[in-house]
Structure formats: C-alpha cells, structure tokens
C-alpha cells in the first residue's frame, strides 16, 4: 500500500494559533503572548483509493489538519503535497480552482452545513456552478439527479428543502454536494458523529461504496475508534497536536503499541480478539495552552518514568508502523 506514490503527502505539518489577549490587555495585565500548537510536526501519506483515519480525543488537532489539507488554513510550517505538487504553491497560482475541484470536505453537522432556504438542487449544484461544470439546463438537471442517486436519494428529492429530510439523509445530501466536482480526495471531519448509531452505519456504507465505485481517497476523522474500524485502511492516532502512532488498521487493532492507542482501544465495548476487559478512558486531555513537558501523554500514562517527563519521544518505525514512545523504543512494553 505504501509502494505507489501517495495521492496526499504531508511533511512536518504544523499549525500554531496566536490566542494572545489584545495588546493593551497584555500590557495592563502583564501577560505574555500565548500560542496553541494545534498541529505539531505531522507527517503521513495517503495512498490512492485508500482511507487514512485520524483519531484522538477532542482538541487533539484533527479538524485543524483537515482544514490545512483542503486549503482552508495555511500551515504555519511544513507542507502538503497533492498528486506530487505542493498545495500551498498551487493554491497561490492560477491553478488554484483546478486543485480545489479535486478535493472536497464533508463536515460533522449536516444541520448546520446546509442552507435551510435553499432547495436540494441549489445545495448540490453549488460547486458545479462555482466551477462552471455544465453547459445546458438538461445536463445540469441530469447531473444533480445522478448525484442524488449515487447517495441513495432520488432525483425527485432535488425540489425539496433540507428540513424535509432526516439527519442521515441530510448527510447524504452533503456527500452528494461534495461529489459534484468529481473530486479524487474527500476529507470527512466526523461525518457521522452527529447521527444515531443505526444511521451512522448506513452513511458509512454509502461512503465505502462510493470509494469502491469511484476510486476515492479519504481522510476520515473521528474521535471514535469503533467507527474508524469500519472504514479505514490505515489509522493515525493524534494526541495534543502530535501523531503518536500510525499503522495499518489490522496491525493497530490487534497490536496497538502506544499507551494512548491502548487506552482508546480498551474503551471500545465489543472488541473481542484480545480478551482484554473494557476500561473507560482515564483522565482528560491537558490544557493545550500549557501542555505537559517531555511526552505530553505522561500525566495519563501508566508506563511513564523520569525520561518520559523530561524528553519528548521522537517517532520511529516498527515495520510498516510508526510510533512515538520511549517505553516501546526501550522494549519496556511490547
Ligand atoms: N481558529 C482557531 N483559533 C485558535 N485556536 C484554535 C482554532 N482552531 C482550533 N484551535 C485550537 O487548536 C486545538 C485543536 O483544535 P481542533 O483542530 O479543532 O481539534 P479536534 O478537531 O481534534 O477537536 C484546540 O486546542 C483548539 O482550541
Ligand atoms: S513516552 Fe512515556 S509517557 Fe509517553 S506514552 Fe510512552 S511510556 Fe507513556
Ligand atoms: Mg474537530
């Protein structure tokens, strides 16, 4: 899977937000500037036609990665290459629109992301209009109908409004809209997190079918490892802006290495292959404005020692996996 050149390649990607109080307040209250290192030195590739999932608790930087990949945020440093080209350079050039057409994003909340005053026809066709992707009205109607059918709705649904649909159907409308430009790459930021469990499965299945039929490449973001298990080929686990483990799905689920990955896996109810007891996730993500030194996971880690408190673990390769943990590197845990 890692042999062919990846469609998406991210190197040392970093995003820092300046969250300082306004200048006058800082002077009066004698405060210094404050920064959040939302994404801190991420590197990964996504092979064509495959799904990389990014998981981690809320605030770990997943959405910030998503936004950088589709060009909604500029990276503070590092790069994103799409099909071999540096996205930042392409987005600053006359070829920006052509690149934007090739990648689309699906957001978490299908209620908030669809304009309630627009018909489904208007919503789904907006990207087609933006990119001038049709010539005649007949062609336009046929294409909108096709897109709706591709996600399990009907052409007749195009005359309706979002409120006439359920949550799962609305998310299908969002997917149809994302497909309108015939993208190769879809960034899905918690696409099913707002939906009931039974509906989640339907939407995930539609996404998988579309991937197979159209050769789509996905970045799939979720805080839920159980969901990721259905849809991913490779999984990256994020903690406080850093990638702590990256592995093929089967490897990660049968042989998790990083203590944080183990903690997330232990919390999944119906995982039966390891015989481990289920135990809820321990502790909370620390304040990102003041992250712990050394390994930022050390306050929650059962294997932490003095080195963990002092020294940030560098990522190293174990077979096709990548992990950043002193205990794994030292062979303290296997
Ligand atoms: N636009 C922004 N301005 C300032 N801080 C932000 C902004 N977006 C995200 N953050 C901060 O960056 C960190 C990562 O956020 P986010 O990428 O949304 O995480 P996740 O999607 O994993 O929940 C959080 O601490 C969040 O408060
Ligand atoms: S580096 Fe240390 S604290 Fe961090 S995950 Fe590994 S054992 Fe735990
Ligand atoms: Mg998010």
pLDDT of residue 261: 96
3-state DSSP call for residue 284? coil
What tokens appear for 10 in the block?
Answer: 């991210």
Contacts 24+ apart (CB under 8 A), 165-170: 166/199, 167/110, 167/111, 167/194, 167/195, 167/196, 167/199, 168/195, 168/196, 168/199, 168/200, 168/202, 168/203, 170/110, 170/111, 170/114
Average pLDDT, rounded, for the chain: 92
pLDDT tens digits, 52-104:
999 999 999 999 999 999 999 999 999 999 999 999 999 999 999 999 999 99
pLDDT tens digits, 171-188:
999 999 999 999 999 999
Site to substitute for ligand 2 among 239, 294, 302, 304, most atoms within 8 A of C-beta: 304
Kindly report the CATH number assigned to the domain that includes residue 143: 3.40.50.300
Ligand 1 contacts CB of residue 58 (under 6 A): yes
Any domain includes 121: yes
The predicted model gives 102-111 an average pLDDT of: 87
Any domain includes 2: no
Residues in CB range of 78: below 8 A, 6 or more apart? 10, 11, 12, 13, 14, 41, 42, 43
pLDDT band at residue 260 using 50, 70 and 90 as cut-offs: very high
Question: Which is the closest atom of ligand 1 to the Cα of 223?
Answer: 22
Q: Is the pLDDT of residue 277 over 90?
A: no
Any domain includes 1: no
Q: What is the DSSP letter of 255?
A: S
Residue keyed to tokens 């290192």: 37
Residue 236 buriedness (CB in 10 A; 0-12 / 13-18 / 19+)? buried
Q: What is the rounded CA–CA span in Å between residue 277 and residue 289?
A: 34
What's the total number of domains in the chain?
1
The predicted model gives 109-138 an average pLDDT of: 88
Q: What is the rounded CA–CA span in Å between residue 263 and residue 137?
A: 54
pLDDT tens digits, 16-50:
999 988 888 888 988 888 999 999 999 999 999 99
Residues in CB range of 19: below 8 A, 6 or more apart? 34, 35, 36, 289
- Ligand at minimal distance from the CA of 64 is 1
Residue scoring higher pLDDT (334 or 189): 189
Residue 329 buriedness (CB in 10 A; 0-12 / 13-18 / 19+)? middle
Ligand 1 contacts CB of residue 174 (under 6 A): no
pLDDT of residue 1: 45
- Ligand at minimal distance from the CA of 60 is 1
pLDDT of residue 2: 45
Neighbours of 324 (CB within 10 A): 24
Any domain includes 90: yes
Any domain includes 248: yes
Any domain includes 125: yes
Q: What is the rounded CA–CA span in Å between residue 249 and residue 225?
A: 10
Closest C-alpha residue for ligand 1 atom 24: 59
Any domain includes 3: no
Any domain includes 53: yes
Q: How far is CA 188 from CA 10, 68, 84, 109, 136, in A?
A: 17, 13, 22, 11, 31
pLDDT of residue 276: 59
The predicted model gives 195-213 an average pLDDT of: 92
The predicted model gives 275-301 an average pLDDT of: 87
The predicted model gives 290-306 an average pLDDT of: 96
The alpha carbon of 219 and the centre of ligand 1 are apart by a number of angstroms equal to 18
The domain in which residue 143 lies consists of: 8-330
pLDDT of residue 275: 59
pTM: 0.93
Percent of the chain at pLDDT above 70?
Answer: 97
pLDDT of residue 270: 61
Ligand 1 contacts CB of residue 19 (under 6 A): yes
Q: Is the pLDDT of residue 211 over 70?
A: yes
pLDDT of residue 116: 92
Nearest to 254 by CA among 232, 276, 239, 237: 276
Question: Which is the closest atom of ligand 1 to the Cα of 238?
Answer: 22
pLDDT of residue 226: 87
The predicted model gives 138-167 an average pLDDT of: 94
Q: What is the rounded CA–CA span in Å between residue 313 and residue 80?
A: 24
Q: Which range among 52-61, 107-116, 118-127 shows the weakest confidence by mean pLDDT?
A: 107-116
Site to substitute for ligand 2 among 258, 285, 308, most atoms within 8 A of C-beta: 308
Nearest to 167 by CA among 141, 147, 196: 196
The predicted model gives 148-164 an average pLDDT of: 96
Q: Is the pLDDT of residue 250 over 50?
A: yes
Ligand 1 contacts CB of residue 288 (under 6 A): yes
């Amino acid at each position: 899977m890692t042999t062919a050149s990846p469609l998406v390649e991210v190197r040392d990607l970093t995003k820092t937000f300046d969250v300082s109080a306004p200048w006058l307040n800082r002077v009066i209250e004698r405060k210094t500037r404050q920064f959040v290192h939302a994404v801190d030195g991420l590197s990964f590739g996504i092979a064509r036609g495959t799904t990389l999932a990014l998981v981690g608790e809320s605030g770990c930087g997943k959405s910030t990665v998503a936004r950088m990949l589709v060009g909604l945020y500029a990276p503070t440093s590092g790069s994103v290459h799409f099909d071999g080209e540096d996205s930042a350079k392409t987005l600053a050039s006359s070829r920006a629109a052509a690149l934007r057409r090739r990648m689309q994003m699906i957001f978490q909340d299908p209620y908030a992301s669809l304009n309630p005053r627009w018909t489904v026809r208007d919503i789904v066709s907006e990207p087609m209009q933006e990119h001038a992707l049709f010539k005649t009205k007949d062609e336009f109607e046929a294409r909108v109908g096709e897109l709706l059918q591709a996600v399990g709705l009907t052409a007749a649904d195009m005359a309706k409004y979002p409120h006439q649909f359920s949550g799962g159907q609305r998310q299908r409308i969002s997917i149809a809209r994302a497909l309108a430009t015939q993208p190769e790459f879809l960034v899905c930021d918690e696409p099913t997190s707002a939906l009931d469990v039974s509906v989640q499965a339907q939407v995930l299945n539609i996404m998988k079918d579309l991937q197979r039929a159209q050769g789509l490449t996905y970045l799939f973001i979720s805080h839920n490892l159980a969901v990721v298990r259905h849809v991913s080929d490779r999984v990256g686990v994020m903690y406080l802006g850093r990638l702590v483990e990256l592995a093929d799905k089967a490897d990660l689920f049968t042989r998790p290495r990083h203590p944080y990955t183990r903690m997330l896996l232990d919390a999944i109810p119906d995982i039966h292959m390891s015989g481990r007891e289920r135990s809820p996730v321990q502790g909370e993500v620390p304040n990102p404005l003041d992250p712990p030194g050394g390994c930022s996971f050390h306050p929650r880690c059962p294997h932490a020692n003095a080195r963990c408190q002092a020294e940030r673990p560098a990522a190293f390769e174990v077979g096709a996996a990548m992990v950043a943990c002193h205990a794994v590197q030292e062979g303290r845990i296997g």
